Amino acid sequence: MERIRYRCGYVNGIEVDPEGARGGLCLAWKQGVIVTLRQFSKTHIDMVIDDDETRAYIQERDSHGSFVGISTKLCTALKKKGGVPRDERRMEVFRKVLAECGLMDMGFSGRWFTWERGNLPETNIRERLDRGVANEDWQIMFPEGSIQHLTHSFFDHCPLLVNTRREERGVKVADFRFEAWWIMEETFDDEVKRIWESSPGNLLLKLDKLKTGLRRWANRIQADQKKRKTFLNSRLSEILAEDRDDQNLVELIDTKIQLNLKIDKDERYWEQRVRINWLRHGDKNTVFFHSQATYRRRKNTIQKMQDENRREIENIQDIENIARFYFQNLFGSEERECCNYLLSRIKRCITEEDNQILMAPYTKEEIKVATFGMGPTKALGEDGFPAIFYQKCWHIVEDEVNRFCLQTLNEGKDFKQVNSTHIVLIPKIANPMNMKQFRPISLCNVIYKIMAKAIANRLRGVIEKCIDTAQSAFVPGRLISDNILLAYEILHTLK
């Protein structure tokens, strides 16, 4: 292994000799990395990696240590194909050990198995026997860390490559992102009102001015946030150590309230990035939010992609070009034959009374209902403002929002400026490798969604008349599971 290590460009390393043809470990690192060996055995290597970029962060968190390791155990029977099934009890014990140690699977890219044996179809066995696991501190230090299953031809185990950093994309100005915790600041309302009223122009111009103003305001208050939280923690410890009297109890309650407010702001920050709908604001679990956000970022990172010739591409710029070319072809328009003869066969189901309701001018009340009917912190559109901004500042932005939406809906005003979206790729399967294995969704601006929701609210009253009873999904009061029961009864009758 030492010879292989040198050929790969790794000057430093440690090897644990195998027992015959079984086992054996090798850990290598590049020159310049300071590593301290703590202990090792035939099944593990325990080391401390000294990194200037992360040392300050570890000290700041008062961490008890970070960990990343390679496991050679099977967690679930789904990770094995062929051969005798594994003992479920032993796999359960291993899962409990990982949970008790706070270790989480880092996932992987590449083929699903890491070990293979058998040259005949009936004797071939494949398993995901090797996996990377890491605790929360390691994942926070290396949020883009990943495991890659490399190609192997000689050994039955494939090498696992641990990447701690992604390829640099170059300098990019961060897009504006409205933070949900801003609304918890005492000066937020006054700042928004000052910028809004002092900005000339229509809704879109005011929103642009607001972006610039809120950036500056957030930078000012953020500088003191961290110091304030550290001071409150220190002061609370001092107060708790003192004897109780009236003044002490008043200060204790006041300090706890201020500290809890700071913690709530941290939770809002991470909650906005986690995208877990079953959690509610106030669930005191910032560590959970942080872990989920890190896991979500790593899961959504595209490590490699196959082009049209099935070649694996890892360069970020090339991956972006593959996606751009794919969607240009997918969304490109082609000339079609006239299909009016198909529409002429559709039975008219909207009455004159229904049509009058649908064609009536939209009102301010409908715009308000649509605004407050949206999820407060759903994924942001191109402008960076979520629905919670409009809901919280409705008394400030109401007139401009109503004017823009009503002019568009009632007078046909051009809305091209708000009709731009971000296309986001959602994986259909684990470890997708080509564009067909992603589901694209469009993230629209909230102004666009307000108008669309106002239209949808009107259609809700007549939608059942327009959709046949055979369509049982996406209509209130109908369940797609009804089709399953119907299909079962049909098959039972045919038998």
Res 365: pLDDT: 96
Q: Indicate the range of 165-174, 342-351, 475-484 predicted with least confidence.
A: 165-174
**Can you give the pLDDT at residue 488?**
86
Most confident of 96-110, 166-180, 427-441: 427-441
C-alpha closest to that of 398 among 360, 374, 361, 371: 371
Mean pLDDT to the nearest integer, 33-39: 82
CA atoms lying within 13 Å on the CB side of residue 362 = 27
Closest-CA residue to 356 (of 219, 251, 461, 439):
461
Domain ranges of the chain: 2-163, 180-300, 348-461
What's the pLDDT tens digit per position in 100-152?
A: 888 888 888 777 788 888 878 888 888 888 888 888 777 777 777 778 888 77
The pLDDT of residue 410 is above 70: yes
Q: What is the pLDDT of residue 20?
A: 75
Q: What angle do CA 40, 43, 46 make, to 5 degrees?
A: 35
What's residue 169's pLDDT? 52
Query: How does residue 51 score in pLDDT terms, banded at 50, 70 and 90?
Result: low
Task: Enter the tokens of residue 57.
Answer: 């962060």
Computed over every residue of the chain, the mean pLDDT equals 79
Q: CATH number of the domain at 2-163, out of 3.40.50.1970, 3.40.50.300, 3.60.10.10, 2.20.25.240?
A: 3.60.10.10
The structure tokens listed for 334 are 């082609």
d(CA 414, CA 396): 24
- Mind listing the pLDDT tens digit for each residue in 287-322? 555 566 666 666 777 878 888 888 888 888 888 898
Please choose, from the candidates 435, 457, 453, 433, the residue with its C-alpha nearest in 3D space to the C-alpha of residue 445: 453
pLDDT, tens digit, 9 for 90 and up, residues 221-231: 876 676 777 77
Q: 278: pLDDT confidence band, cut at 50, 70 and 90? A: very low
pLDDT at 451: 95
Would you state the torsion angle of the CA atoms of residues 345, 350, 356, 360, taken in this order, to the nearest 10 degrees?
-80
Whole-model pTM above 0.75?
no
Is residue 481 predicted with pLDDT exceeding 70? yes
CA distance 176 to 229: 25
Identify whether the C-beta of residue 295 lies closer than 8 Å to the C-beta of residue 104: yes
- The dihedral region occupied by 275, where left means phi > 0, alpha psi between -120 and 50, and beta the remainder, is left
Give the CA distances from residue 486 to residues 372, 475, 483, in Å, rounded to whole numbers and listed in that order. Answer: 38, 18, 5
pLDDT digits (tens, 9 = 90+) for 207-262: 999 999 998 988 888 766 767 777 777 878 888 777 877 877 888 888 888 777 77
State yes or no: pLDDT of 61 exceeds 60: no
Q: Taking CA 160 as the corner, what is the angle to CA 426 and CA 25, rounded to the nearest 5 degrees?
A: 155
Encoded tokens for 436: 């067909």
- At 50 the pLDDT is 67
